[in-house]
Amino acid sequence: MGIYGYFVAPWKCLVVIGLRLLFLVPAGVPARSGDSFSKDNITVRQGDSAVLKCTVDSKVSRVAWLNRTTILYAGTDKWSLDPRVVRMDNTPVTEYSIKIQNVNVHDEGPYVCSILMSNKPKSSKVHLIVQVPAKITNISTDITVNEGSNITLMCLAIGRPEPNIIWKHRSAKGHNFVTEGEYVDMTVITKEQSGSYECISSNDISAPDVRTVKVTVNYAPFISNARSTGTPVGQKGVLQCEASAVPGADFEWYKEDRRLFNGLNGVKIENQGKQSMLMFLNVSEEDYGNYTCVALNTMGITNASIILYGKTALLLLLKYNIGLILYMLLCALGMQL
């Protein structure tokens, strides 16, 4: 392996000089010894092995592989100091091949097989192309912004051929295509645009490289559920209020202008995520009336009115309304008769 000893055989010196002259030829790729020149490309993926083949016959007296101006192999002698470059011995007698293991992008370029046949030099060239799987090298970090702000997401990738970048938005409704390119601009962002954004980089060399950026959008509370409740005297009553917000909303309860506190005046306040419950352990006549649920966070405040009423009063009201409707119907029928 390498140059053996401190001396070089005279014929080897001649080979070097001859090869350097022979390799001043136009670019091309492996050929038979009977051809003056042929073209070919070898494409391999980074990390794989590349096999460079050169066909010879009994008329060939000298043969060597070069990379640009560097001799890799001359006959059976290795000149390259790169341990990844090896000669393939188990090949047909008509084939002179070398292998480059664990190929990287620096190995890309022209390789020349130089042949001396009947004192006439011939050569062939192969161009090695190294493909590199797409890899994301830089991507935006997770971001939290207020609704109405402008943001830009970035995703940079390398690869050969140049990778294609696609952004997808992962939301509750599933994957929705967003855009192509390294950058995504979002102006006047809304809460619906929050979620995970996938950057997918691919160039068909291997599986795509996928990274995710989480976008959190702060927005003011809005109450999505607040229903009045009817409860008889002496029973347990519950008023419920549900609000969506980021950051999560804090809740306050009021009866008219008086704020209610947990554990006082026979009421209990229990908050669970987006929901707040005002519970009456033993409803009395004094508990009936209008209540206000207030939801607030750093982005804003909102409220909703909820009524706690007695079921008996509701039944009487319904009964009265039904009777009134029947009376009006009978009156209408009598007028027709």
Model pLDDT, residue 244: 95
Please say if the pLDDT value at position 104 is more than 90: yes
* Averaged pLDDT, 71-99: 90
Shared domain for 49 and 123, answered yes or no, is yes
Tell me the Cα Rg of the chain.
Answer: 41
Of 33-42, 109-118, 190-199, where does mean pLDDT reach its minimum? Answer: 33-42
Model pLDDT, residue 51: 94
| CATH number of the domain to which 252 belongs | 2.60.40.10
Query: Mind listing the pLDDT tens digit for each residue in 305-319?
Result: 999 998 654 444 444
Total Cβ atoms within 10 A of residue 286: 9
Shared domain for 195 and 158, answered yes or no, is yes
Model pLDDT, residue 312: 59
Shared domain for 88 and 154, answered yes or no, is no
Query: Mind listing the pLDDT tens digit for each residue in 205-245?
Result: 999 999 999 999 999 999 999 989 999 999 999 999 999 99
CA pair distance 287, 266, nearest whole angstrom = 10
Shared domain for 196 and 241, answered yes or no, is no
Model pLDDT, residue 250: 96
pLDDT averaged over the chain?
A: 83
Q: Is residue 97 part of a domain?
A: yes
Q: Is residue 235 part of a domain?
A: yes
Model pLDDT, residue 173: 64
Model pLDDT, residue 334: 55
Shared domain for 199 and 174, answered yes or no, is yes
Please say if the pLDDT value at position 8 is more than 70: no
* Averaged pLDDT, 7-18: 42
Provide the percentage of residues in the chain whose pLDDT is more than 90.
Answer: 63
CA pair distance 54, 94, nearest whole angstrom = 8
Range of the domain at 161: 140-219
Say if residues 29 and 38 touch (Cβ distance below 8 Å): yes
Residue 256 exposed, middle or buried by CB count within 10 Å (0-12, 13-18, 19+): exposed
Model pLDDT, residue 315: 46
Shared domain for 71 and 153, answered yes or no, is no
Record the tokens describing residue 222, joined without a space: 């809005």
Say if residues 55 and 40 touch (Cβ distance below 8 Å): no
Model pLDDT, residue 318: 46
Q: Is residue 112 part of a domain?
A: yes
> How many secondary structure helices (H) and strands (E) does the chain include?
2, 24
CA pair distance 79, 9, nearest whole angstrom = 13
- Among residues 124, 114, 98, the alpha carbon closest in space to that of 21 is found at 114
**Domain count of the chain?**
3
Model pLDDT, residue 26: 34
Model pLDDT, residue 172: 65
Which position has the token pair 């950057």?
199
Provide the percentage of residues in the chain whose pLDDT is more than 70.
Answer: 79
CA pair distance 254, 311, nearest whole angstrom = 22
Shared domain for 48 and 109, answered yes or no, is yes
Residue 152: C-alpha distances to residues 46, 105, 138 (Å): 33, 32, 14
